[in-house]
Amino acid sequence: MRQVENFIRGEFVAARDGKRFDKVSPVTGEVIASIAEAGRSDVNEAVLAAKAALQGEWSTFTTNQRVEMLYEVADEITRRFEDFVEAEMADTGQPSHVMRHVFIPRGAANFKIFADTIKNVPTESFMLDTPDGAGALNYGVRTPKGVIGVISPWNAPFMLMTWKVGPALACGNTVVVKPSEETPLTSVLLGEVMNKVGVPKGVYNVVNGFGPDSAGAFLTEHKDVDAITFTGETRTGTAIMKAAAEGTRDVSFEMGGKNAGIVFADCDFDKAIEGISRSSFLNSGQVCLGTERVYVERPIFDKFVAALKEKAEAVNYGKPTDEGVNYGPLISKEHQNKVLSYYQKAVEDGATVVTGGGVPEVPEALKDGNWIQPTIWTGLSDDAAVVREEIFGPCCHIRPFDTEEEVIGLANNTDYGLATTIWTKDLPRAHRMAAKIDVGICWVNSWFLRDLRTAFGGTKQSGIGREGGVHSLEFYTELRNVCVKL
């Protein structure tokens, strides 16, 4: 069985107290690895290693040297592409094509995009008039924030972890990563890459474990962690924010969503169906940007429901490497039970189950996996649990609407504000709506299309701050003003 250790100061080390936990395959329910669970002393060692590295060789690197090293990291990930694909499939159970075409390439790209950003983004400068006429020059200098605690999620673990580690290292910080206990493999594998390309010891560290009373809490509570970046559910973000209040440390959060998809009668129907099916069912619905509320203009409502039903029923279950498989399991039994409980709530609240609603028939070898059917409902009120609360599963409720003003109100009637997707050929209308819907990102006639230079984040309970391009630099650096009297 695979033994997975913590990665501290450039070495793979077991927990000092010997504690371990099992990594279970989402596909088969079998134990596939034994993971070292970091205790408080292990986390302390990792944070101290990161703090020491800030004053060591890493601090002497010029911006260009950091840029070159991050390119080497990306190139080594690409060289070991199959290793990362295999590890991510083992962790998540999601199909090979998703790993090969989305999650692993983006993980490598995250290092290059932020290397390019830090190299090419200028700081501000101003000339100031002074009474003696000589003037003064003011200019900005960006300095690293320090030790960054990185708490990463399980739904796209490598992509979302490197989305934070890339800019943190580009800006000269050091990191301690706490991956989800469900998906530790690629974070630890990245340690091998860091050693291979010569990243100084202590710059990148990984501590495995859980949240409360485990590595997650120990990391966020540590006084020498200068800032915390987190992607995950809103409840966990609230707990982290309380911990970060001690020492008034910076936080960057990307949290839950209850995203709306809006489909007008004038849309390109086939493209809208393809887009909503992806946004509702990709990664078995375990996407923070996914669509769980769909609003369809009344003239095409029945046609749309029928077409999306066909898409939901066309999925192929199976092992990630099996030919033709396009749909994987949920991450854990706990999460499967949570999603199934919402399926039951929908029925209790009077939903019409268009399709799905339970556990599918799968081959005998997969019966202990965390399988669940893509599910579509209609007929629920706007205050029903499955319409109000984030489920994080392959499901959506579809409701008709009649006017632009009505659907804007429906889309904004949520505690969250992460994303929306609008399908229409009327671009002036799309622009009007994009300005009125309270979200961090609004797609028009597309979904999951990302320019990594642009701002990414949420409003309301979906997050704090923005990531991407120069916006990431605002979090990962301190901007110092220098005033020089001439």
CATH number, domain of 50, equals 3.40.605.10
**What average pLDDT score do residues 189-196 get?**
98
| Residue 239 lies in domain | 2-255+462-485
Residues 269 and 218 in one domain: no
Question: Are the CB atoms for 206 and 216 separated by under 8 Å?
Answer: no
Where do we find the tokens 């601090």? Answer: 59
Residues 161 and 266 in one domain: no
pTM for the full predicted model: 0.97
Question: Are the CB atoms for 12 and 36 separated by under 8 Å?
Answer: no
Domain assignment present for residue 455? The answer is: no
Residues 90 and 199 in one domain: yes
Residues 49 and 127 in one domain: yes
Residues 406 and 358 in one domain: yes
The reported pLDDT for the residue numbered 283 is 97
DSSP character at residue 317: B
**What average pLDDT score do residues 259-285 get?**
98
Q: How confident is the model at residue 458 (pLDDT cuts 50, 70, 90)?
A: very high
The reported pLDDT for the residue numbered 331 is 98
Domain assignment present for residue 173? The answer is: yes
Residues 246 and 265 in one domain: no
Question: What are the pLDDT digits (tens) for 130-161?
Answer: 999 999 999 999 999 999 999 999 999 999 99
Residues 114 and 201 in one domain: yes
Residues 210 and 297 in one domain: no
Query: Which residues make Cβ contacts (< 8 Å) with residue 317, sequence separation at least 6?
Result: 325, 327, 360, 362, 366, 371
Residues 139 and 276 in one domain: no
Residues 292 and 209 in one domain: no
254 carries an active-site annotation: yes
The reported pLDDT for the residue numbered 144 is 98
29-48 burial, b for 16+ CB within 10 Å, e for fewer?
Answer: eeebbebbbbbbebbbbbbb
The reported pLDDT for the residue numbered 450 is 94
Return the CATH number at 417. Answer: 3.40.309.10
**Amino acid type, 10:** G
Question: Are the CB atoms for 135 and 126 separated by under 8 Å?
Answer: no
The reported pLDDT for the residue numbered 427 is 97
Residues 332 and 301 in one domain: yes
Question: What are the pLDDT digits (tens) for 290-331?
Answer: 999 999 999 999 999 999 999 999 999 999 999 999 999 999
Residues 365 and 480 in one domain: no
SS3 content of the chain, % helix, strand, coil (to 5): 40, 25, 35
Q: How confident is the model at residue 360 (pLDDT cuts 50, 70, 90)?
A: very high
Domain assignment present for residue 133? The answer is: yes
The reported pLDDT for the residue numbered 175 is 98
- Percent of the chain surpassing pLDDT 70: 100
Q: Spot the catalytic one: 76, 88, 254, 467.
A: 254
Total domain count for the chain? Answer: 2
